[in-house]
Chain A
Amino acid sequence: MSTVAALQLDLAKLLPVCEKAAPVSTEHELVARALKGDGRAFATLVEPHLPLLYRIALRACGNRALAEDAVQEALALAYKRLDRYQPGTSLKSYLAAIAVRKAQTLLRSERRRRAREHTSDAPERIAGPADLVSAERLGVKVRDALAQMPKKRRQVAMLRLDGGMSYAEIAEAVGTTEGSARVLVHLALKDLRERLADFLPESEIEEK
């Protein structure tokens, strides 16, 4: 009986170690299988991060169908460079870094498209039901504000506010130190606050 109890104690000690080691080894295995061309393994690997990739893509282009295409393009790029990814480091940062770079291109093309529509002789579009949805209208304003920001600030703003990433993760994604990431986020938020001042809820300081 005492032997069984001792074994149980040993198992109880080992269990947390196994739980910690398991994700890394699983990720390692999934990466290896994906590199051999196993699509299911790659899908399993990226599945937890698909909402983040979709959110960043949708933020950049504002169109659901385009966002889905953009996610697939980002995943194709991520797969192409998968041999450079070190299992055990942040896959979220790795994928988010690719997504924000992809978003950069999308935002630029979206901005050009909007500028073209603005300068064309076509009659002004009558507001449809979609325009009346406040979330969508707000989305357009946020996208405009982001498009006008410098590249690095825009990236960190999306990673922080859309991705909910920590400073360390942002630093890894944009290839800088944590201190620099902190400064960049501060500047990006300040910039955004000024650009979106009309849409932000009243703060306590302003009320006073």
Chain B
Amino acid sequence: MSLQPDNRDEERLRALFDGSYEPPSEAVLTRLKARAADVPSMRPARFWPGWIWAPGFAGVALAATVAVFALTPESSSIPKTAAVAGVVPAVRVATSGGSTLQAGGAAVEGAADELALHDATLAGIDTDWASPAASDSELGTDVFDGVPPDADLDAWMYATAELLDTAYDEEW
């Protein structure tokens, strides 16, 4: 029975591999066995249990996180002023011990009021001065209310002649 070409090649290669290899001595094998026995003691103790890395556990953890976020009411629904009002009494209680601390508490309260007013401004509540016309008058912007009389203009020209460096001519 003759070998197939592939099998014959395999036999020749196997002979080559066997010929280029020297088997380990008994001493080497004993040493290897001793080193194998040391392997379990070499391994450091694991901090996390093995099941924590299991894909199933990862899925459960993800589902739990999603459920917590889905069931918790949104934090943005709490009014900001209510949140500030909640802070102020707490500060007041904490600072009721001394006068310096009371002053600090008052400052915090003032800041809270200012913040509440700022919020109201942004919301457009009770802001008469927020209209464009009102803001113009507040800022002192000139409002055109008719032509001034000639006498006023003459007086103004006379008063500012030196500044403009031009001779004032009565006849002009």
Contact = CB atoms under 8 A, between A and B. Distances in A.
Interface of A: 34, 37-40, 42-43, 46-47, 50-51, 53-55, 58-59, 64, 68, 71-72, 75-76, 79-80, 83, 135-136, 138-139, 141-142, 160-162, 186, 189-190, 192-193, 196, 199-201, 203-205
A43 B19 contact: no
B16 A39 contact: no
A151 B36 CA distance: 27
Interface residues of B, number: 33
Given A64-B28, A203-B8, A75 B17 contact: no
Nearest to B25: A64
Contacts, number: 107
A72 B19 contact: no
Interface string B27-46: 01101111111111111000
Per CB-CB distance, the 6 closest pairs between chain A and chain B, nearest first, are A138-B20, A39-B37, A43-B37, A139-B20, A43-B36, A161-B17
Interface in B108-127: none
Contacts of A37: 40-41
A58 B36 contact: no
A68 B32 contact: yes
B10 interface: yes
Given A200-B12, A203-B12, A42 B40 contact: yes
B23 interface: yes
B69 to A, nearest CB: 34
A42 B39 contact: yes
Contacts of A205: 5
